Amino acid sequence: MRTRDLVFPFFLFASFLIASSTMFAFVDKPSYLIPLFVFFSCTIFWLYIKSSILFEEKINTKNKNEPLKKEDKTDLSDSIEYILEAIPSAIIIIDKTGKITFTNTGSEILMPGILKVGNHISTIFRSPVFLEAVDRAIADRKNIKITFDSPIPLFQHIRVHFVQMPKDSFSASEGHILLKFSDQSKNIMIEQMRSDFISNASHELRTPLASIIGFIETIQGHAKNDKANRELFLSMMHDQAVRMQRLVDDLLSLSKLELQENSPPSSNCDVFEVIDKIVKSFLPLAKKYKVKLTNNLPLNLSNIVGDEVQMQQLFSNLIENALKYSGESSNVKIELIKKQKNRKSESNMMGIQIIDNGKGIPTEHIYRLTERFYRVNADLSRERQGTGLGLSIVKHILNRHKGELEIESVPEKGSIFTTWLPVSKTDFKLTKRDKAA
């Protein structure tokens, strides 16, 4: 209450006190009644003033809050739109006719180039399961969860949550439905890979185990006293046991690599020395398969950022594969890539190629070579004690090192396996090899 609003009530109250006091002066009453009368009169006047102030404050507060509520209702749709835009999941909102009224960035990532506000949702997905769910959500006004397969833009296994939106939450009209999409394709693929892995691993272990058990039974039976056959079966058992050991070692390597994949190495590795040792150790194998093996890497090759043990594993797998499967009379060469057309040439990356001029690999197999237990020729792979995990190990090692594998092959002309690895920034230009040269 403003001060000027108190002038009239105060003047009226003062006049009342003066008149009352004058009246008490002429009336035969005890003298102590006058101060009591003045006290109670002042108290009543104070309560009146206080109640007036409180009432006026309440009215003012109400008047201030009303425009804020109106403003909140006006801005509510914008706030919800901002929140939905920030959600990484794919979100689409449709009205009660099925027309799209809103799409967020996440939906554009899941369905690039096929979403447009104003179009009917049926123009995006033709799946009968999905369209039936849209009709049910609109008619029954209930939340629904479904999964369906969509071939657009690529094959996807999609889960959708239909959520009914309350009135005024996004639009002035009722009947809007929020659709939250999530692509389950990767989860299904991982589950399928896990299932295939268990199946393949059990099969790969079961085969040598069955052979070993069969040989043991034979030795214990009719070949018990046959020294020549006993020695033959023991040799075969040894080969099968070695095969099982290689398979178990590769499986353990894969498990370890998966745990380390998000922890890239920081130490330097002398890649020339690693490959030079591998080439020398593989010369007997090259002689066995009648293949010529040559290391053409320059002596002053820069160091890379890498784990030395894993680099040995990586290049051992690639060189061993070239020796085993390129075919007799082929030439296997290890070279530093010279003509760099790849985008990696623009970054601080080194390309090392394992080149052969052997049998080559049919095009339809190339994209699957790094899958676990995938073989172009299963019989030849088992004959030469391959586990089917070598290139999968190579892929995981390169993933950990932030590297890349490129495969080029032409049947009957040969193959080129190129590994891209990060060059060390603290590499020394002058090495012991330079001094020796």
Q: Are residues 196 and 169 in the same domain?
A: no
Q: Same domain for 140 and 240? A: no
Reported confidence tier of residue 171, pLDDT bands at 50, 70, 90:
low
**In-domain check, residue 82:** no
pLDDT at residue 244 is higher than 90: no
* Mean of the per-residue pLDDT values of the chain: 78
Look at residue 200 and tell me if it is in a domain. yes
Same domain, 91 and 178: yes
Q: Is residue 202 part of a domain?
A: yes
Which helix (H) or strand (E) element contains residue 332? strand 331-336
Judge whether 377 lies within some domain. Answer: yes
Q: Report if residue 410 sits inside a domain.
A: yes
Choosing from 260, 287, 315, the residue where a domain stops is 260
**Are 177 and 192 in the same domain?**
no
Q: For residue 210, tell me if it sits in a domain.
A: yes
DSSP state of 123: G
Cα(80)–Cα(84) distance, integer angstroms: 6
Hey, what are 402's tokens?
Answer: 């932030």
Q: Report how far residue 214's alpha carbon sits from residue 81's, in angstroms, rounded to the nearest whole number.
A: 70
194 and 95 in a common domain: no
The pTM (predicted TM-score) of the whole model is 0.55
Please indicate, yes or no, whether residues 206 and 219 belong to a single structural domain of this protein.
yes
Q: Given 74, 99, 132, which residue is the final one in a domain?
A: 74
| pLDDT top residue among 149 and 274 | 274
pLDDT in tens, 404-428: 999 999 888 899 999 999 998 875 5
What is the pLDDT confidence band of residue 30, given thresholds at 50, 70 and 90? Answer: low
Q: What is the pLDDT of residue 342?
A: 52
Could you tell me if 127 and 142 lie in one domain? Answer: yes
pLDDT the model gives residue 224:
78
Q: Are both 121 and 197 inside the same structural domain?
A: no
314 pLDDT more than 80: yes
Are 121 and 34 within one domain?
no
Report the C-alpha gap between 271 and 258 in whole angstroms.
23
Based on the fold, state whether residues 135 and 214 are members of the same structural domain: no
CATH of the domain at 389: 3.30.565.10
337-388 pLDDT, tens per residue?
Answer: 865 655 544 568 899 999 999 888 888 888 888 888 787 876 666 666 677 7
pLDDT reported for residue 287: 92
41 Cβ partners below 8 Å, 6+ apart?
13, 16, 17, 20
User: How sure is the predictor about 294, in pLDDT bands with cuts at 50, 70 and 90?
Assistant: very high
Res. 253: pLDDT tops 70: yes
- Please indicate whether residue 256 or residue 190 has the higher confidence score (pLDDT): 256
> What domain count does the chain have?
4
Interval 207-216 mean pLDDT: 85
Q: Which CATH number covers residue 165?
A: 3.30.450.20
Q: What is the pLDDT of residue 437?
A: 46
Q: Are residues 273 and 350 in the same domain?
A: yes
Q: Is residue 79 part of a domain?
A: no
Mean pLDDT of 261-279: 90
Residues 385 and 307 in one domain: yes
> Which residue did the predictor score with more confidence, 117 or 167?
117
Q: What is the mean pLDDT of residues 190-217?
A: 78
- Residue 51 pLDDT: 65
Residue-number span of the structural domain to which 360 is assigned:
265-436
Domain closes at, from 74, 95, 129: 74
In sequence order, which ranges of 27-127 are alpha helices (DSSP H)?
33-86, 105-110
Residue 99, pLDDT above cutoff 60: yes
